[in-house]
Structure 1
């Protein structure tokens, strides 16, 4: 039963996409929370990311000892040209706002995977309501950290109405988060760990469940 629950969360997480325009540079955060959202994004290297011309990474999902999903991406943020390689098949498209049905299927995966890769930037890129709570208890470690709730509207995007609770330390690095589905019946907490600096862009390469049976991790990461 535990394996079935983990697998069901895996399906939710892999298909969970919030906003079709992940690289928008606008935010609907209230004025009192906009500044901390911007501070977190900048602390994670947003200004350096703006200079990147190629982002390469492989998105991996492990359940217990089995790799359940693996996708490799090559992305030019300047032109929004994207290449996906999955199951030895490569597909290329451009995120120009006019996508075919086949391109939308790829784009849904791209949005999901880049949300995990660069979520701190979504605090200023995407259209979300942001609220703040000081000294909240984290769901996995039980530590006291500041918390932002990032809630998406029930209109637009691939899965409208979803939200995240993110927990961050004094260095403004995310440490844990909780994904909450719009229907209110599904949620999952994972860590943010194994941070690495890629030319000034800070990325958490590993996200694990409390019991360690689920891990979403990045390999072959390169930003230039």
Structure 2
């Protein structure tokens, strides 16, 4: 009788473990039906690992024609302390207490962080925008059929109120292209690719964005996740 009880417990444990592993796999692949499309995109890019991140450092670069611009950020996520490093200056501040003297610097950080971690911002900002998910939309650069997610930010608060973004992604929920539309106007202000993905300590990050209509590339170097 004891052997039967032990065997039953073992079988139950194995089945539970299998169900847990299958659920984790579904979440990783974006197949968990209980998740929103926002969460599926974030998780496809390693959002479940963000809780373990203590700091992230990255250099934001823009090449436009013959001009180059760059600035480096170090974000200590637990304390929300941010340090900006350029060739001219180094500035450290805390995002919990941003005053008028830090508004321009913090605005730069928000912009650069958004480009780096837009899949995560979909979860972080979800109370600040409305969204619509469309299947079978034509992507603006590749002209291939993809999913389309449109987010429109509210007109209250933030550095760019009312702005809209169109994300284009495949069944794997990895963003391939996007469109920025200032104040939700119908015509795009900027359209870029999302490419050169690399997984860094569990975070899947697109390091290169190119415009199809200009000599322009926005990219990240020196990405460190601790």
Q: TM bucket by the smaller chain?
A: 0.7 to 0.9
Q: How far, CA to CA, are the matches of 1:174 and 1:183 in structure 2? A: 20
| Kept after mapping to 2: 8 A contact 1:33/1:132 | no
Partner of 1:60: 61
Equivalent residues in 2 for 1:206-217 (5 A)? 206-211=208-213, 213-217=215-219
Partner of 2:144: 143
Q: Which has the higher contact order (CA 8 A, sep 6+)?
A: 1
TM-score of the two chains, using structure 1 as the length reference: 0.81
Partner of 1:7: none
Deviations 1:176-221 (A, max 9, x none): 0000001626511000000000011000000000145111000011
- Cα offset for 1:87? 2.6
Q: How far, CA to CA, are the matches of 1:160 and 1:33 in structure 2? A: 30
Q: How far, CA to CA, are the matches of 1:176 and 1:33 in structure 2? A: 26
Name which one, 1 or 2, has greater alpha-carbon Rg: 2
Moved over 4 A (4+): none
Q: How far, CA to CA, are the matches of 2:175 and 2:208 in structure 1? A: 12
Give 5+ residue unaligned stretches, structure 2: 1-32
Partner of 2:102: 103
Partner of 2:220: 218
Root mean square deviation, CA, Å? 1.7
- Which has a greater percent of helix? 2
| Kept after mapping to 2: 8 A contact 1:33/1:131 | no
Q: How far, CA to CA, are the matches of 2:220 and 2:75 in structure 1? A: 15
TM-score of the two chains, using structure 2 as the length reference: 0.81
Partner of 2:76: 76
Number of aligned residues: 191
- Is 2:47 aligned against 1:39? no
